[in-house]
Amino acid sequence: MITRRDFLKVASSATLGASAARPMLTWAAGDSALPVPGKEGLIVRSYRFLDLETPVEYFNTWITPTQHFFVRNHMHEPATLDPSDWKLSVGGEVDKPYTLSLAQLSKLETHSVVNTLECAGNGRAFQNPKVPGVQWQKGAVGTGRFTGPRLRDLLERAGVKATGKHVMFHGLDDVPGRVPPFIRSIPIEKAMDSDTLVAIQMNGMALPKHHGFPARALTPGWVGAASCKWLTEIKVLDQEFEGNFMSPGYRWPNQPGKPGEAAKPEDTHPLTALNVKSLIASPGDGSTVRSGLVHVQGTAWAGEGDVVRVEVSTDDGGTWQPAKLGNEKAHYAWRLWDFKWQATSGDYAIAVRATDSLGRKQPTVPVWNPSGYLNNAVDQVKIHVKA
């Protein structure tokens, strides 16, 4: 196994201090703009470590530009990453374990997947009662074009033994204190899917550091946590990986519980694919628009399903009318949608709901779970229409 020290060239504390101390220059919340190279106008959920949310008004393109793409880090990003030293090992329950340099990985045949990546905790802030964790509202989601070798090709080169049932990803997150390392696994069937990648590009460019440079897993249609960043080790296991970020982290109760109720660990299962979900990008919540033709616009996605219908209500859920789906589509990517509304003056609650090819619909209120995962409740904005 490659250790962190083989890989990281630890920057001097002076260098680290200079960059890390920057947030303290602009401390008061809500009235400051915090510098993050390559990321413009994002909502700062955390600056050290970095967690950035995309404001919904940016969701007006099928591909989310990288500068507007959300960032979810569990820990600190690797302090220094030297691509010439970086290695990716493939081992575990395989016949021929091996290691690749970035140059070797980059020479392999690549495949591209347009994928809607969503943090499992997106929408956590709307859980009632409140639950601990990054208080994501609507924008821990985005759609990118990810490119890299298929994970299947890497695994087949190593020769997966019959005992190989799960595939573990280990990233180079800089782990503070005694926090457990960010290691998770996915079942072998998903790992061998032709769309599961070791991505080295995002939106046509080398992966930016915030998104896992030089390589990340890309497990399409699944919660973002299945797409480990700063990937350095792929290990085939005979069972699911046992660690904090598999249990108790990222699990869902087998039985629905009452709001506020805890779930017994043995009565839960790991999160996998995303739910069906939709968002209103415009008009913005609390905004005022002129009467007449109003374009209500947004996005809808469904993990491993396909969005088949998006409906909009302009009367607080009383009646629903179909929205027009955008032409751009890919299996794991969201659809843009548009609803033309002849608005007269007054105050309105506008809502959207999607249905997918698996027959799934969105609930009207968040489904309770103790960590606030997978909130796909119907989205709503309140607006004023002036004459």
Partner 1 sequence: MSKLSRAVVGVAALLAVPVVRSQSASSSGLPEGPLQAKAATACTECHEARIIVQQRLNKAAWTKEVDKMIKWGALVEPQDHDPLIDYLSTNFGVDKPEYVADRTTTASPKKTKK
Total count of residues recorded for the chain: 387
- Of the two residues 45 and 190, which places its CB atom closer to partner 1 in the complex? 45
**Residue numbers 75-114 binding partner 1 by CB under 8 A:** 79
Count Cα neighbours of 146 within 13 Å in the Cβ-side half-sphere: 33
- Of the two residues 74 and 353, which places its CB atom closer to partner 1 in the complex? 74
3-state secondary structure of 113: strand
- Of the two residues 44 and 105, which places its CB atom closer to partner 1 in the complex? 44
DSSP-assigned beta bridge partners for residue 88: 100
Of the residues 1, 2, 7, 8, which one makes contact with partner 1 according to CB under 8 A: 8
Residues in binding contact with partner 1, number by CB under 8 A:
56
24 is a contact residue toward partner 1 (CB under 8 A)? yes
3-state secondary structure of 5: helix
Tokens matching residue 139:
């924008």
We find the least distance from the C-beta atom of residue 138 to partner 1, in angstroms, to be 13
259 is a contact residue toward partner 1 (CB under 8 A)? no
State phi, psi for 255 to the nearest 5 degrees. Answer: -120, 140
**Residue numbers 150-209 binding partner 1 by CB under 8 A:** 174, 176-180
Tokens matching residue 315:
């009367």
Count of other CB atoms within 10 angstroms of residue 65: 13
65 is a contact residue toward partner 1 (CB under 8 A)? no
Count of other CB atoms within 10 angstroms of residue 338: 15
Residues 133-152: x/- map of binding to partner 1 (CB under 8 A)? -xx-----------------
Tokens matching residue 147:
């490119």
We find the least distance from the C-beta atom of residue 380 to partner 1, in angstroms, to be 17
Q: Looking at 14-22, 155-163, 181-189, 317-325, which segment touches partner 1 (CB under 8 A)? A: 14-22
We find the least distance from the C-beta atom of residue 365 to partner 1, in angstroms, to be 18
Q: What residue type is assigned to position 184 of the chain? A: R
Cα angle 79, 82, 88 (rounded to 5 degrees) comes to 100
Of the residues 5, 109, 318, 359, which one makes contact with partner 1 according to CB under 8 A: 5
Cα angle 64, 70, 73 (rounded to 5 degrees) comes to 145
We find the least distance from the C-beta atom of residue 241 to partner 1, in angstroms, to be 19
47 is a contact residue toward partner 1 (CB under 8 A)? yes
Q: Collect all residues with Cβ–Cβ distance below 8 Å to 138 and sequence separation of at least 6.
A: 53, 56, 122, 123, 279, 379
293 is a contact residue toward partner 1 (CB under 8 A)? no
- Of the two residues 15 and 60, which places its CB atom closer to partner 1 in the complex? 15
Q: Quick one: 56 exposed, middle or buried, by C-beta within 10 A (0-12, 13-18, 19+)? A: buried
36 is a contact residue toward partner 1 (CB under 8 A)? yes
Of the residues 2, 7, 20, 87, which one makes contact with partner 1 according to CB under 8 A: 20
We find the least distance from the C-beta atom of residue 141 to partner 1, in angstroms, to be 17
State phi, psi for 322 to the nearest 5 degrees. Answer: -70, 140
We find the least distance from the C-beta atom of residue 78 to partner 1, in angstroms, to be 11
Of the residues 2, 81, 108, 131, which one makes contact with partner 1 according to CB under 8 A: 131
DSSP-assigned beta bridge partners for residue 376: none
Rg for the chain (alpha carbons), in Å?
21
383 is a contact residue toward partner 1 (CB under 8 A)? no
| Residue for token pair 């390589």 | 215
Q: Looking at 17-25, 95-103, 295-303, 378-386, which segment touches partner 1 (CB under 8 A)? A: 17-25
Residue numbers at the binding site for partner 1 (CB under 8 A)? 4-5, 8, 10-13, 16-17, 20-49, 51-53, 67, 79, 129-132, 134-135, 174, 176-180
